[in-house]
Every structure is written in structure tokens, then in C-alpha cells.
Chain A
Amino acid sequence: MKSKKPAESLKAAPSPVLVHLQLSGDPKCLALVRRILSASATSFPVSSSVLNDLKLAVTEACTNVIRHAFKYDFSRNFSLNLEFTSNVLKVRILYSDRLFDPEKIPIPDLSMVPEGGLGVFIIRKIMDEVVYSSDRETGEVVLHMIKFLHPTSSQGG
């Protein structure tokens, strides 16, 4: 029996794509994040619908850091880590915000047609897992998000 060629093995099980970015508080970086997400997803069979959702959720999360934690201070930095595998995208965003309390994220009242406060609402609609953790002493905040790339009826998405 013929053994598989290396190229075929790679095609059968693509290696995870790991992306570690250090981003500034400049909102111009958001378009770059979306392009990196698109490029990272090319190794995996992700539908355009899921990819658009991912770009939206990750942009919303980064926007919240830039707008609410950094208040558009371009000199501040945060980390965005992406781990793509064939089935799942794991996202980790690390930044510093001593005032952030995950318990106090407001829930928007959609009946009032809000002009703001929809970012986390959208993130939670799109991603399968969303966990904020914060260290009150150091001020370090970590946002973990997971999205299953091929949702079944039981996984939602």
C-alpha cells in the first residue's frame, strides 16, 4: 500500500494557525485585524457567513478596548491572540483596565433603539463562548472567546 505523500497529510489535517498581535489604541488597526482574520481563515473551509461573523465579533471586542478602556489613547497597547483549527477559532484579548468590572456590562434595551452599548450584545450573539476575567489588583483583563466554525444545531451559531 502506498503511503500518503506529505502534502496529502497536510491537506487532511491542516495545522493550527496561531496569530499573536500587539495592537495600539488607534482605531485604524481594526481594518487590519479583519484582513488578518480573513487571511488566517484561508487554510480552513470556513463559510463566508461564519467568517463575516468572526470579523464582526473580533472587531467589536477590539473596539471596546480602544473606545472604553483606552479612550482612544494611541500610546496604549493590547494583545490579540487567534488560534484557528479546522473546527474552532479561539480568541484571547489581553489589556489593562482597572475600572472594568465584567459584572457591570450593561444589557442594551433594544426597544429603546440605542445608539451605543451593542458591542458585547453582538459578540454574545455570534460567539459560542464569551468569558471576561479581570484581576482587580493588576487591572489585567482577559477576554476569551470561542467560535465553532461548523455549527451544528446543538452548537448554535
Chain B
Amino acid sequence: MKIDCQIEEQKKVKAYALEGELDVHQAKELKSRLAEDLEEGAWTYILHMDRVQYLDSSGLGMLVYLKKEILRHGGKLRIDGLKDTVLNVFKLTKLDDFFELNSQ
């Protein structure tokens, strides 16, 4: 999985452009990378997923974990640019309400 990160320290925003397929193989890599980046305080984490072609329950579980961790640290998570096929997995599992999602 390709991960590009941009940080705006003053605004307390970390934005990640993700590219690839979020299955169990890639989700483990992304989970450890993002967990390392978490900071205490009101940081906003944005995942740009317009180049994520595939997501399954492993990727979704990782995102649930990540959001819970971000909330625990006092921050928030936004997910942008979801393709319909990926958004469908959130809806199928009724997790679309748990996340702040923006589709393409």
C-alpha cells in the first residue's frame, strides 16, 4: 500500500493519501504506520481513499480500531473520496454511521 502523508502542524491536521487494496495484508501495514503517527490532542486525521480500489472486513476493522484510538487521543478522523464499491462495504456492515465519510 502506498501512503503519502502531509502534516499541517499549525492546523493540527494530518492528511494521508492512500493507494492500493485494503485487505488483511495491506491493513496490517497501514495500521502500524498510522498508529505510530497518533498524537495527543485535537488533531484531525484525514484519509484520502480515492485511490483505494478495494476494502474488506480486515481493512474496515483496522479503520474502526484507528478511529477508536484517535478518539481516545482526543482527535477526529475523516475519510474522503470513497469509491462506491468501497462505500458499499461500510453500508453493508452498517458502519457508515460510525465514520465521517465523504464519497466521490
Contacts and interface: CB of A to CB of B under 8 A. Distances in A.
A59 B88 CA distance: 16
B72 to A, nearest CB: 13
Interface string A114-143: 111011011001100000000000000000
Contact of A115 (B21, B54, B56, B65): B65
26 contacts: A28-B25, A30-B23, A31-B21, A31-B25, A34-B21, A48-B85, A49-B85, A56-B56, A56-B89, A60-B57, A63-B24, A63-B56, A63-B58, A66-B24, A67-B24, A113-B64, A113-B68, A113-B95, A115-B65, A118-B57, A118-B61, A119-B56, A119-B58, A121-B93, A122-B89, A126-B92
A22 B42 CA distance: 48
Contacts of A56: 54, 56, 89
Contacts of B89: 56, 122
A63 to B, nearest CB: 5
Interface string B67-90: 010000000000000000100110
Interface residues of B, number: 22
A52 interface: yes
A31 B88 contact: no
A59 B24 CA distance: 9
Most buried by B among A48, A60, A114, A118: A118
A52 B21 contact: no
B61 A116 contact: yes
Q: How large is the interface on A (under 10, 10 to 19, 20 to 34, 35 or more residues)?
A: 20 to 34
A144 interface: no
Contacts of A59: 23, 54, 56
Contacts of A66: 24
A118 B24 contact: no
Contact of B23 (A27, A114, A115, A125): A27
A139 to B, nearest CB: 23
Nearest to A28: B25
A55 interface: yes
Given A59-B56, A113-B64, A115-B61, A125 B25 contact: no
A145 to B, nearest CB: 15
Contacts of A48: 85
Interface string A21-50: 000000110110010000000000000110
Interface in A88-118: 110, 113-116, 118
